[in-house]
Structure 1
Amino acid sequence: MTNVYSFDGLIVFGLLMISTCAYMRRVPKLKQWFLSERKGFLGVFYKAAVIGTRLHMPVAITCVLMALYVLIIK
């Protein structure tokens, strides 16, 4: 199990947040309700969704590499 306070746990948490927000951007009802704010605290989720949709290949490759790291090395 990864720890949020370690560097690799922080990377896993960030990747999961980016992937989840990018998926929620594809769901119409969630997009209107959750990702409508672009500033403030909820703006972080909007920005993560934008990163996930624009950089989907690097995010996917990083997710696979972190999965291998967590399963095999750690």
Structure 2
Amino acid sequence: MTALFNFQSLLLVILLTICTSTYVHAIAPTFMNNHKQGFIGIFWKAARVGERLSPYISLCCVFMAVSMLIGS
């Protein structure tokens, strides 16, 4: 089953995309700043969300980790 059909997996993929994009943007900011349009622009936007909402993203990651522990 893909992550599109399972809501919890979809949220996990979105959170991992935001966290990974934010990390890559911190390491190589010129790469993402030069590619704001197109497919890579999605990752630039995810990096912006991760930078601006980092406390909320962190809380969501902790919540997802706890829910994964409880669910398994």
Residue 25 (str. 1) matches residue 28 (str. 2) = no
Q: TM-score, normalised by structure 1?
A: 0.85
CA distance in 1, matches of 2:50, 2:19: 6
Superimposed CA distance per residue, residues 20-45 of structure 1 (whole angstroms, 9 cap, x where no aligned partner)? 00011111xx3223x12111111000
Q: CA RMSD in A?
A: 1.6
Structure 1's consecutive aligned runs of 4 or more residues displaced over 6 angstroms after TM superposition are none
The normalised TM-score by structure 2 is 0.87
Partner secondary structure for residue 38 of structure 1: coil
Paired residue for 2:47, among 46, 49, 63?
49
Aligned residues: 70
Runs of 5+ unmatched residues, structure 1: none
Counterpart of 1:40?
Answer: 38
